[in-house]
Amino acid sequence: MHNVTLIKGDGIGPSIMDQAVKIIDASGAKIHWEEADAGMAAFNKFGTPIPDATLESIDRNRVAFKGPLTTAVSEGFRSINVELRKKYDLYANVRPAKSWAGVQTRYSDIDIVIVRENTEGLYAGLEHYLTSKRDIAESLAVVTRHGSERIVEYAFKYARDNNRKKVTVCHKANILKYTQGLFLETAKEVAARYPDIEFDSKIIDATCMHMVMNPQQFDVVVTTNMFGDILSDLTAGLVGGLGLIPGANIGADAALFEAVHGSAPDIADKNIANPTAVIMAGVMMLDHLHEHEAANKVKTALEKVIAEGKYVTPDLNSNAGVGTDVMGQAIIDAMA
């Protein structure tokens, strides 16, 4: 039995997480869910977005399955997502984007994995006003050799373990010569240790253009925190939208699995959110727990339901979309 901390999250979180949990339970994987609060829901209940009991649960279990959390765009309300990644040193954020049979998009043969550095860069949280009038603000980007080395090493090891051929490092070292320069220099050193994997480097702005025009040239992409955040939404757009992309946040001794998307307040409580991203995050979690058979079972059933296109949410089929719960049940039926 695996103990997993379950955070259902805000907005569409509870509705999609309920389906994901039901499906994982039906897969035969032996998971004991320990439910915990975080985000707006926790703030409204306990006056804090991350209660101690939630941290104690993650401390114990070292694996968490999390729905999206709302982060208010204001001072004083910190991002719990960023905080959890920093607290547990979840330095690798792995976001696979693959074309789905049955989802109509411009390309049908995309298979890109974004490996985003998750603890440093411009999201290190070092921001302040420089003047009392608040007319100059400063943000510090922190890049370390250690942080760069371990994330690029992760990307190459991921490529080798998953039978992938190429790693592209994306950077802006032409302008940010110290921070991005250190990242690129370190990436080149790591690449030399993996002669069996092709290595390429691209400037981030050119990467965006190439990714839209010729995405098939990308395989594994490794980059710094903010570039990875933006690029993974771009790859989501290429394969059919944010409702489809999972993310694994991996550290040396803890891991947190979630969707790339947020709490989607515009569609909350309407039973139309696509549960695919969190279900695929669940598949990544099952693989992490070595429950490979259950992971394959869930993935195969999900692929079948999406390919048939009958029991899918409206973002995948605007003519005949069904509810989140109906899509969830169809996946359970497909597993049987």
CB of residue 156 vs ligand NAD: minimum separation in angstroms?
26
71 vs 118, beta carbon nearer ligand NAD: 71
118 vs 263, beta carbon nearer ligand NAD: 263
CB of residue 4 vs ligand NAD: minimum separation in angstroms?
17
**Chain centroid to CA 233:** 10
CB of residue 56 vs ligand NAD: minimum separation in angstroms?
21
Q: SS3 string of 231-262?
A: HHHHHHHHHCCHHHCEEEEECCCCEEEEECCC
CA proximity to 155, closest of 123, 114, 124, 186? 114
CB of residue 241 vs ligand NAD: minimum separation in angstroms?
6
What the block records as the tokens of 109 is 């043969």
CB of residue 267 vs ligand NAD: minimum separation in angstroms?
4
Q: In the bound complex, which residue of the shown chain has the CB atom lying closest to ligand NAD?
A: 262
Q: Catalytic annotation on 233?
A: yes
What the block records as the tokens of 77 is 């309300």
Q: Catalytic annotation on 111?
A: no
64 vs 167, beta carbon nearer ligand NAD: 64
**Residue 325: helix, strand or coil by DSSP?**
helix
Contact between 167 and 222 under an 8 Å Cβ cutoff? The reply is yes
User: CA-to-CA distance for 140 and 204, rounded, in angstroms?
Assistant: 19
Annotated catalytic residue: which of 18, 200, 233, 325? 233
Annotated catalytic residue: which of 172, 202, 297, 299? 172
Question: CA torsion angle for 285, 295, 247, 328 (degrees, to 10)?
Answer: -110
CB of residue 93 vs ligand NAD: minimum separation in angstroms?
10
- 13-26 vs 292-308: helix crossing angle, rounded to 10: 120
201 vs 271, beta carbon nearer ligand NAD: 271
Q: Catalytic annotation on 229?
A: yes
Question: CA torsion angle for 233, 238, 239, 242 (degrees, to 10)?
Answer: 30
**Chain centroid to CA 32:** 23
DSSP structure class, residue 218: -
Q: Catalytic annotation on 178?
A: no
Annotated catalytic residue: which of 37, 66, 91, 123? 123
28 vs 265, beta carbon nearer ligand NAD: 265
Contact between 70 and 39 under an 8 Å Cβ cutoff? The reply is yes
Q: Which amino acid is at 242?
A: L
Q: Catalytic annotation on 172?
A: yes
What the block records as the tokens of 157 is 């090891």
Annotated catalytic residue: which of 66, 229, 299, 311? 229
69 vs 294, beta carbon nearer ligand NAD: 69
- Enumerate binding residues for ligand NAD (CB under 6 A): 12, 16, 68-71, 81, 242-243, 258, 261-267, 273-274, 277, 315
Catalytic annotation, residues: 123, 172, 205, 229, 233
